[in-house]
Amino acid sequence: MNATMSDTSDVSLEEARELLVDLVSIPSPSGEEEEAAARLAEFFEAHGREVWIDEVGNVRAPADDSVLLTSHVDTVPGEIPVEVREADDDEDGSVAEVGEDVLWGRGSVDATGPLAAMAAAAVRTGVSFVGVVGEETNSRGARHLVEDRDDVPEAVVNGEPSGATGITLGYRGFLAGTYVATSESGHTSRPEPNAIQHATTWWTAVEEAFANDEYHPVFERVTAKPVDVDAGISEDGLSVEATLDVQLRIPPSLDADTVRETAEAELEVGTVSWAEPIPPVMMSPRTEVARAFRAAIRKEGGEPRLLRKTGTSDMNLYAREWDCPMVTYGPGNSELDHAPDERLSLSEFDRSVEILARVALDLRGDD
């Protein structure tokens, strides 16, 4: 879908900040995004843009598909009092200079800051926008989006914190599994291992299979983490049961099948069921969208930084389904993702709005 410049609308930085503060003030943990989605849709309606909330809760504002700006509406749980206050000597200097305004609140960094900046830039420039739901849990919004869209956008900018001068090109993939084992109950003096020991033996072997020395970059490793365990005597007292939930992060040098096969090769007792994997992604720094960001960041007085993230994002899903250039970008210090002191420099937010608008106009051919 193409738009004309008549589909654009002026959005001041003050209005963009107002949207940001409103969205951060609305609790929107995964599964509870409705109110925040309504506020976001209201912003587009107020500027004469076509917008609707689809069946899974995504905020869809289609326009010029030279670039699709998309970020997630949901946050992780946790209440942080929402306030704007000046940074002082106790603040982390990487977030804001002393005296600058800083917005505190859950989601200010991950990823309501990028979401609001993209909404403002999309309205200014007439490009497509989607606010997706469920990124922090099962990415249901992004999964629905790639299934529901008929056309592939010409480029994608995914919204996650990278800092105003950071351009994220790569993410590791993700594989989640559940190990289950059962053994007969018996006196603890018996030498035979029980289900709990089988679970710990398997997981220790998996960790050793993926072990690297400390000089190996984290982005290029498989990170293996247990995330939940439920184990003990069964209700009828006749067996010992163990359930272990695990997660493995996959570097671009490997694929999910290889990682799964390595983990299963260490399996002697019990079974493992695997969820649908999310593949790793690594984009070239020489695509048109990466070039547009480097140029825009320099025009705004910054020095571009190319980043690789050790986590996983919706960009992984977009890259698997859409053959187009993409990057991830957004204001905020990613070290504050999910943190109890999550906060965002408002001057950095302003700068990111200007950079995103420059990128969108560049990719539309209007810059």
Q: Decide: 178 and 168 in contact? Cβ < 8 Å.
A: no
Structure tokens at 195: 């289900």
Question: Which of these is catalytic: 135, 160, 350, 362?
Answer: 135
- Give the residue from 274, 230, 284, 216 showing the smallest Cα distance to 248: 274
Annotated catalytic residue 74: yes
Query: Which residues, 6 or more positions from 316, have their beta carbon under 8 angstroms from its beta carbon?
Result: 171, 173, 174, 278, 279, 280, 281
- Give the residue from 360, 355, 345, 349 showing the smallest Cα distance to 301: 355
Q: Which DSSP symbol is given to 118? A: H
Backbone angles phi, psi at 278, to 5 degrees: -110, 120
Annotated catalytic residue 135: yes
Question: Which of these is catalytic: 64, 65, 74, 354?
Answer: 74
Query: Which residues, 6 or more positions from 230, have their beta carbon under 8 angstroms from its beta carbon?
Result: 241, 242, 243
Q: Decide: 256 and 140 in contact? Cβ < 8 Å.
A: no
Residues that are catalytic: 74, 135
